[in-house]
Structure 1
Amino acid sequence: MSKTVSISSPSQFKELLRSSKIVVADFYADWCGPCNQVAPLYEKLSQALSRPNIVTFTKINTDVQKEIASEYAVTNLPTFIFFRDGQVSEKVQDSNPVKLREIVKKLSDEVFSIGAADADSSSNAGGLNWRGAEMPRGYADISSQVELQRCELLNVDLDVGNLRVLFNSSKPSALSEGKGTAKDWVESDTDEQLMLFMPFQSVLKLHTLQITSLPPQDDDDDEVPMRPRKIKLFINKPHNLGFDEAEDMAATQTLELSEKDWNADGTANIALRYVKFQNITSFVMFVVDGDGDGEKVRLDRLRLIGEVGEKREMGKLMKIGDITGE
């Protein structure tokens, strides 16, 4: 018996997005040849990987469910959209079986490990897959594309957290009852500047940068770290920059944050100049200074929002000319 759910209404689909951690949606049409070709593989994946309230495979006939297709900007068939906790995580607009298998396996492995953690401890309920701000419609959280083993964070206080906590999917401890006792954040060391180099596993398009910073509210303590104020962003660098070099270099985009940019969860949702952040293989974020009179800057979480393009060879950065054709 098929485990794939045929969607008969927008309300049914919305309910599935609420009840299942991962939803895989196959947007198809009966007349579409490539849709029919990939259908047996999709059904096989559904049979193997479907789990109640964890992974749900659906089929959406675009000739019948036009409202759903329009909401998620489906213009090519077949289109496969992967939802994680109700938000778009990946989007594949072809019938490439290798790519389909790869994404399904990655997402299912991740969710199954989360399910095991939930079974071991109920104390984290509601804290996994935390988001500090709304996801822009039509884009996905692509933070998993960061090649963590090759990242580099300069001027970091080694007595606090390491750079991996920035991409942690859990709710920051500063927003929990522990109030930050786990030290799952990073702070600058000798002054307020931080330099973070992030190479990617694939060529990306970046739409939005989400930064969470949750310094303790204690105005009487001179040691309390600050939130970032001025940030310079650079793309397609083969390695990290030096602080003096970054000070003098023209940035791809410079951000000036103020108190109004931070929401109740301590997250700044920053729309990037999308036309400038196309086809990128690495990203450098330079925190120039903090918003206040302190001596350190604190970062709790980072989320990169956009689209994933072609996968590149691991550990190999493309030169800018290779991408732009210059």
Structure 2
Amino acid sequence: MAKYVAVNSVGDLDSLLSKHEYTIIDFWATWCPPCKAIAPVFEKLASEHATSGKIAFAKVDVDAQPQVAKRYQISAMPTFLLLQRSEVKKAVRGANAAAIKSLITYARKKNDGQEVSEEEEKAYSQLEFGGGGGGGYRTHGGTVKST
């Protein structure tokens, strides 16, 4: 399996989601400095953790694939989503390597049928509210603002 899949259409994404239990998606933009900064980290994690049929990694250029970004209501870059099949389970907003690693740990544990402790679940649930730290860019009515 390739390290990550560059999503070029809604159909590409749907196909990928149907073939893997979990998918971690990096929503990015070419003009976004935090996206560029975190890209090598995401790509390295993908090369280390992608597992055929189990965990896939994908990148979506929000400007090239606005219909995919719209599907998931992406309004900040970078945003990383963890999906189980087609259902969003967790989200990280901003270039936060530790939070992205937590998405991977969560997916691996769940995929392997391991229990996730109450403390871990609480930490993972906080990911949904942003990941903190690494900064990002938001779009507001077509205007981009740094966060």
Q: Same fold (TM over 0.5)?
A: yes
1:91 alignment partner in structure 2:
91
Contact 2:27 2:80 in 1 (8 A): yes
Contact 1:202–1:308 at 8 Å: present in 2 too? no
Aligned to 1:127: none
Please report how far the alpha carbon of residue 309 of structure 1 lies from its aligned counterpart in structure 2 after TM superposition: 4.0
Equivalent residue number for residue 38 of structure 2: 38
Long gaps (5+) in structure 2: 132-147
Q: Which has the higher contact order (CA 8 A, sep 6+)?
A: 2
**Structure 1 residues 21 and 204, CA gap change in structure 2 (3 angstroms):** closer
> Structure 1 residues 204 and 90, CA, compared in 2 at 3 Å: closer, same or farther?
closer
Alignment of 1:294-313 (within 5 A): 308-309=128-129
Q: Does 1:80 align with 2:1?
A: no
User: Per the alignment, do residues 203 and 22 of structure 1 end up closer, same or farther by CA in structure 2, a change over 3 Å counting?
Assistant: closer
* Whole-angstrom distance in 2 between the partners of 1:60 and 1:42: 13
Q: C-alpha displacement at 1:310, in angstroms?
A: 7.8
| In structure 2, distance between residues paired with 1:56 and 1:104 | 10
Amino acid in the other structure paired with 1:20? H
Rounded Cα–Cα distance in structure 2 between residues aligned with 1:30 and 1:310: 21
Matching of residue 201 in structure 1 with residue 116 in structure 2: no
Question: C-alpha distance in 2, partners of 1:21/1:204?
Answer: 19
Match of 1:57 in 2: 57
Q: Normalized against structure 1, the TM-score is what? A: 0.36
Indicate how the Cα distance of structure 1 residues 202 and 72 shifts in structure 2: closer, same or farther if over 3 A, else same: same
Distance 1:203-1:106 versus aligned 2 partners, 3 A rule? closer
2:15 corresponds to which residue?
15
* One-letter amino acid matched to 1:51: T
Q: Deviations over 1:115-169 (max 9, x none)?
A: xx9xxxxxxxxxxxxxxxxxxxxxxxxxx68459xxxxxxxxxxxxxxxxxxxxx
State how far apart, in whole Å, the 2-side matches of 1:203 and 1:97 are. Answer: 14
Structure 1 position 108, deviation (Å): 1.9
CA–CA distance in structure 1, aligned partners of residues 34 and 27 of structure 2:
12
Q: Closer, same or farther in 2 for the Cα pair 1:145/1:69, shift >3 Å?
A: farther
**Counterpart of 2:104?**
104
What's the CA shift string for 1:196-232, capped at 9, x where partnerless? xxxx725969xxxxxxxxxxxxxxxxxxxxxxxxxxx
Cα distance in 2 for residues equivalent to 1:204 and 1:110: 14
CA contact (8 A) 2:29 2:61 kept: yes
8 Å contact kept, 2:92–2:130: no
How big is the alpha-carbon RMSD for the aligned residues of Structure 1 and Structure 2? 2.8
Listed as ranges, the matches of 1:1-326 within 5 Å are 3-111=3-111, 113-114=112-113, 146-147=118-119, 201-202=122-123, 308-309=128-129
Gaps of 5+ in 1: 118-143, 149-199, 206-306, 312-326
Alpha-carbon distance change, 99 to 10 in structure 1, aligned in 2, over 3 angstroms: same
Residues 260-300 of structure 1: CA distance to partner in whole angstroms, max 9, x if unpaired? xxxxxxxxxxxxxxxxxxxxxxxxxxxxxxxxxxxxxxxxx
Q: What secondary structure does 1:26 align onto?
A: strand
Residues 310, 83 of structure 1: alpha-carbon distance in 2 compared, 3 angstrom cutoff? closer
3-state SS, counterpart of residue 110 of structure 2: helix
- 1:84 to 1:33, Cα distance in 2 relative to 1, 3 A: same
- Cα distance, 1:99 vs. partner? 1.0
Distance in structure 2 (CA, Å) of the matches to 1:78 and 1:310: 11
AA partner of residue 85 (structure 1): R
User: Which amino acid in 1 is paired with 2:87?
Assistant: Q
Distance 1:61 1:47 in 2: 19
